[in-house]
Amino acid sequence: MILVSGGAGYIGSHTVLALAEAGYRVVVVDNLSLGRREAVRAGRLVEMDLRDKEGLFALVASFSIEGIIHFAGLSQVGQSMSDPQSYYENNLKGGLNLFGLAAEAGIPVVFSSSAAVYGLPRQVPIPEDHPLNPISPYGYTKMVLERVLEDYGRASGLGSVSLRYFNAAGADPEGRVGEAHDPETHLIPIVLQAALGQREKVAILGSDFPTPDGTCVRDYIHVQDLAKAHILALEFLREKGGCHCFNLGLGRGHSVREVVEVCRLVTGQRIRVQETDRREGDPPELVSDPARAGEALGWKPEITDLSEIVASAWAWHRKDKEGGN
């Protein structure tokens, strides 16, 4: 059985479905502060906070856990700048409890890390050996937990893979789960909410970055391809063990303006934009070098066109608005 922390969240819920379809039994641990109960479409859901160390150890003792995938935690860069205490208390304490349990029991871990560990990139695309220099508390918590896994691996032999996501996007092609945050902070769902009339306009957070059109450039990867990478990482750990990190992205970027334009074309809707000040903690450009994941894990993204990524999200958002989820 695979324990998935934060499996009621966006990437977690897609990974739970992928695990079930691959024949794994799954138990989801989520405190539902951000996740949606209805997003858990497979496995068993246990409502629990990872900071409850005794409860967590009792839960694991009651199941035959063969692997852990850790998603749970706060994940908004801007919020982490204004409320760092919540990020350090939630992300670090929960991660330490779970990783300590894994080290003690010898259970391999796949960790949901982030490109935020790199901070302001010195080179683009960004390889895994790029210096780690996060510029937000969110990114710092990810870097610290990666180091925890490395140290636990050295001390106890704990096997782990840290997956450094770039920008997750899209939705399950069958429309079972999708992206829904409250409040929403991710660009594509924000633009699609504007297309649905759920918000008046889209704020472009900075138009004076040193990029071709002045807006931030990001590497968008479909959430279904991210989910598959977690399964490959689990299988990799069974064979290889050790402590590893891999970038997950397409290796090419799109600016905010480009994303808005693709959303206009996909939806056929007029989308108003308003240029505002930069958001603190945002690097101008984040684009991955994903070669290592392809070579080591055999990972190859299948949904690579931005319009296809947006179309899957658009289909889910329309269904969700109509009460189909």
Active site positions, annotated: 138
Task: For residues 282 and 316, give the distance between their C-alpha atoms in angstroms, rounded to a whole number.
Answer: 28
- Calculate the CA dihedral of residues 41, 42, 44, 45 and round it to 10 degrees: -30
* Three-state secondary structure call for residue 211: coil
| Residues ≥6 apart with Cβ < 8 Å to 267 | 192, 195, 314
CA distances from 283 to 84, 213, 220, 279 (A): 18, 15, 15, 9
Q: Which of 65, 64, 61, 73 is nearest to 30 (CA)?
A: 73
Q: Which of 222, 201, 178 is nearest to 325 (CA)?
A: 178
| Residues ≥6 apart with Cβ < 8 Å to 76 | 138, 185
Cβ contact 106:233 at 8 Å: no
Cβ contact 100:155 at 8 Å: no
Angle 36-38-41 from CA coordinates, rounded to 5°: 115
Task: For residues 221 and 302, give the distance between their C-alpha atoms in angstroms, rounded to a whole number.
Answer: 10
Task: Provide the CA 42 distance to its chain's centre, in angstroms.
Answer: 19
